[in-house]
């Protein structure tokens, strides 16, 4: 991050750096992240630094329509389409997807093991037969699914983002839908979280699916769901014992979802 500042300001002069940050055309969230990087940098350099304070605006994430995501998937190249389908179905971060190896996929059980990043929890997630079929059409000339061995993780991820952005721009013009340009790779994680909570109404299950350690990170998605007029308490059963306990507590079976069973009980 500091490279972007170093190109336009003198890092050895904290005051010019603070002036650059004040006038920079980026979000307060990015300014806050840059400030934390500068604090560590000046502590390492033993240079006095009085950090500026930026308070990010807590904005709700943009959630696209499923038809818009599907339009991007169907209009993208084979590798990008497979990546988008994976992110849509699992809510993985793009970095987690690019760290995924072929050995992380259980073809028989249609599951993928997520190797976490950013302090998340490791988790095993159910995927569709469609995604398995898309994965099987990709070349297996590397131990990683989406990147070559000679490419480092960050470089390959940046290349993937640029490829996706080019295809997204082309499709937004072709389909005359500028909303597509608001869809980023991380947007699919927001979509997955919102849809999972919308279907299950189980915040703890949603939290586990996302790999969150802190439930406060998951709670923001409850603001994006419109509750129906008939109010239910919903629970997710992942084992026979879970299902038995729910039935004994008066819950009724509703449907299967991602390899689990959903139960509900009127409030």
Pairing between strand 105-106 and 260-266?
Answer: unpaired
- Give the Cα separation of 61 and 168 in Å (integer): 19
Average pLDDT over the chain, rounded to an integer: 87
Domain segments of the chain: what residues?
Answer: 2-45, 66-188, 194-266
Give the model confidence (pLDDT) of 206-259 as tens digits.
999 999 988 888 887 877 766 555 667 788 888 888 888 888 787 888 888 777
More confident residue, 81 or 5: 81
Give domain 66-188's CATH architecture.
Orthogonal Bundle (1.10)
The confidence band for 78, taking pLDDT boundaries of 50, 70 and 90, is very high
Give the model confidence (pLDDT) of 132-184 as tens digits.
999 999 999 999 999 887 778 788 888 999 999 999 999 999 999 999 999 99
Q: 99 — phi, psi (to 5°)?
A: -90, -10
Residue 155 has a CB neighbour count (10 Å cut-off) of: 11
pLDDT above 80: residue 193: yes
Task: Give the pLDDT confidence score for residue 27 in this predicted structure.
Answer: 79
Judged on CB neighbours under 10 Å (0-12, 13-18, 19+), 227 is exposed
Cβ–Cβ < 8 Å for 91, 189: yes
- pLDDT-above-90 percentage for the chain: 44
Cβ–Cβ < 8 Å for 86, 131: yes
Task: Give the pLDDT confidence score for residue 83 in this predicted structure.
Answer: 96
Q: Which residues pair with 144 in a beta bridge?
A: 101
Give the model confidence (pLDDT) of 92-116 as tens digits.
999 999 999 999 999 889 999 998 8
- Give the Cα separation of 182 and 64 in Å (integer): 8
Task: Give the pLDDT confidence score for residue 2 in this predicted structure.
Answer: 65
């Amino acid at each position: 991050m500091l490279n972007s500042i170093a190109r336009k300001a003198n890092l050895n002069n904290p005051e010019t750096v603070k002036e650059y940050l004040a006038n920079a055309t980026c979000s307060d969230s990015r300014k806050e992240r840059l400030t934390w990087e500068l604090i560590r940098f000046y502590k390492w350099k033993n240079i006095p630094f009085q950090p500026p304070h930026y308070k990010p605006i807590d904005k709700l994430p943009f959630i696209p329509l499923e038809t818009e995501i599907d339009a991007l998937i169907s209009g993208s190249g084979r590798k990008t389409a497979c990546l988008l389908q994976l992110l849509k179905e699992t809510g993985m971060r793009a970095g987690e997807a690019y760290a995924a190896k072929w050995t992380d996929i259980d073809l028989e059980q249609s599951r993928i093991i997520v190797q976490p990043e950013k302090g998340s929890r490791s988790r095993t997630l159910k995927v569709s037969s469609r995604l398995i079929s898309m994965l099987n059409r990709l070349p297996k000339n590397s131990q990683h699914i989406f990147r070559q061995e000679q490419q480092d993780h960050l470089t390959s991820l940046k290349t993937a983002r640029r490829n996706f952005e080019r295809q997204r721009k082309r499709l937004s013009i072709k389909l005359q839908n500028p909303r597509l340009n608001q869809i980023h790779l991380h947007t699919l994680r927001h979509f997955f979280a919102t849809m999972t909570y919308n279907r299950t109404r189980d915040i703890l299950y949603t939290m586990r699916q996302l790999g969150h350690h802190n439930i406060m990170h998951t709670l923001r998605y409850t603001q994006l769901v419109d509750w129906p007029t008939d109010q239910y308490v919903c629970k997710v059963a992942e084992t026979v014992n879970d299902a038995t306990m729910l039935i004994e507590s008066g819950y009724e079976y509703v449907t299967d979802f991602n390899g689990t069973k959903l139960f509900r009980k009127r409030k």
